[in-house]
Structure 1
Amino acid sequence: MFPVHEVVKLFYDDPAAASGEALVLEIRESGQFSDVILDRTIFYPEGGGQPCDLGSLGGIVLTQVVEDGQAILHRVEGRPSFKAGDRVAMVLDAARRRDHSQQHSGQHLLSAILEREYGIHTLGFHLGQTYSTIDISCPSMDADMIARVEKIAEFFIAEDHGFRVHACPPEDASSFPIRKRLPLGESVIRIVEIDGYDWVACCGTHVASAAALRLFAILSAEKYKGNTRVYFVAGDRAVAAMARGF
């Protein structure tokens, strides 16, 4: 067993990397599964409302990726043929990452528009397999409002506004005009900016610019616990939804 230090998070440092090699530090048996700890990883672990990346590790299919303190656990079925001290190949399911980044960035854009244009706060976010939802602090969202929000989103996509990430200590993060409270107890906070329009602390993966979203569509909105739940799709999901007429 090797000492477990903070893992190198290549999904932040080199988000375009779809493959790579890592040193196996430890393998923990967990029932019918094994949790593999690496010195570096291209796989984003589940968190911040975003599901984990998947792919393969040493040719074995990953079933889950989660954080555990400073380590990131890469779960595989059974017992892998490799051991601590070996170097293993990492291969990312790039289509899954692209999809999740599009949906998460689409959520940031939607929440930013609602906050800036209407003073409506986002209360919750869920990234699902076919659509995503946000819960917002208003009793309803009519067709005119939906159309205007979509039009503003289309403008950002057409103008290709950038998504920038600022990784900074808390004292610097507090200088940004963020729309949500900063997380506590973090030595480094990632602020995701939409080109001078929105700033929010976020640990997820994102597109580099709005053009990568391709399209954004609100599928529906309904009353939910005194507020409103908005169903939406972005990117390739939105293109597919429009092709089939929702």
Structure 2
Amino acid sequence: MVHLNSPLQESLYLEDTYLTGISSPVAATGRDEDGGAWVALRRNIFHPQGGGQPADQGRVGAYEVTPARHAATGLVVLRAGDGAGDGLGDLAEGDLVEARVDADLRLLHAALHTAGHLVEAAARAEGWNMTGNNHFPGQARIELTAPEAGGSLAGPGEREEAADRLRAFVSAAVAADLPVIAGRDPEGRRVIRLGDLHAAPCGGTHVRSLGDLAEVVISGVKVKKGRVRVSYSASHRPVTAGAVR
């Protein structure tokens, strides 16, 4: 499910990938079963793990935090790292705090997620259908079904030819610098569009246009038990001063 804003929390990470620092009131506080404290910000810039994308990392005040979706409330809550003691437990609803996301990690995650959509678009052009994805650094891959997986992709030569076609597709789209646009479908789901090339429901962070992608590398195509795995890597091009706020 692609989560929308709740009455208690704005999901700013869905609106602006490049917004990495804000002031925000605390929307809610609580404790886990083990007694560990968590806080939820009214203006939340932290992407929780989900949809194949890892969680942001960052800070609230002096504390390093990791976000996660809170099952009971649906809020994105922040928990302090090991060794922080009970620091977040001192915060109360309405307190104003400074929050900052690790900008380099945010841009890497956004590049990998957008590149994953682009690799899926290339695979669709081959007649393949996505069944799963992983956008984690060092593990990024798209899992697909392909009618010819046991036939024309059976040999290493055929798989390398298929990989070359995917590479050509991806390179052309990046060179065209197609816009990456977030919108809503008639059911209210957030949809990410790569120009007119590809569209998919998604709750991840993304680059502004495909020209922001650098070093998009498809390392290979593998077939196992009738499934096709396309492994890839990507990074974000250097950003100009002020582009990340």
Fold conserved (TM > 0.5)? yes
Structure-to-structure mapping, 1:223-234, within 5 angstroms: 223-234=223-234
**Alpha-carbon distance in structure 2 between the residues aligned to 1:195 and 1:37:** 34
RMSD: 2.0
**Alpha-carbon distance in structure 2 between the residues aligned to 1:204 and 1:132:** 14
Aligned-residue offset at 1:168: 4.2
Partner residue in 1 for 2:242: none
8 Å CA contact 1:56, 1:90 repeated in 2: yes
> Bigger shift: 150-159 or 65-74?
65-74
Aligned mate of 1:18, from 6, 13, 20: 20
Normalising to structure 1: TM-score of the pair?
A: 0.81
**Alpha-carbon distance in structure 1 between the residues aligned to 2:228 and 2:42:** 43
Structure 1: gaps of 5 or more residues: 171-187, 238-246
State the aligned residue count: 216
**Alpha-carbon distance in structure 2 between the residues aligned to 1:45 and 1:199:** 22
- Give 3-state SS (helix, strand or coil) of 1:215's partner: strand
8 Å CA contact 1:46, 1:67 repeated in 2: no
- Letter aligned with residue 123 of structure 2: L
1:62-85 Cα distance to aligned partner (Å, 9 max, x none): 134324444211111431243333
Aligned mate of 1:56, from 41, 47, 59: 59
Is 1:143 the counterpart of 2:160? The answer is: yes
**Alpha-carbon distance in structure 1 between the residues aligned to 2:64 and 2:215:** 31
8 Å CA contact 2:13, 2:47 repeated in 1: yes
Structure 2: gaps of 5 or more residues: 1-5, 238-245
- Letter aligned with residue 222 of structure 1: K
Runs of 4+ deviating beyond 6 Å: none
Is 1:82 the counterpart of 2:85? The answer is: no
Normalising to structure 2: TM-score of the pair?
A: 0.81
Percent identity reads 25
Q: Which structure's relative contact order is higher, taking Cα pairs within 8 Å and 6+ residues apart?
A: 2
Partner residue in 1 for 2:200: 200
Partner residue in 2 for 1:242: none
8 Å CA contact 1:154, 1:215 repeated in 2: no
**Alpha-carbon distance in structure 2 between the residues aligned to 1:10 and 1:105:** 18
Partner residue in 2 for 1:211: 211
**Alpha-carbon distance in structure 2 between the residues aligned to 1:82 and 1:150:** 50
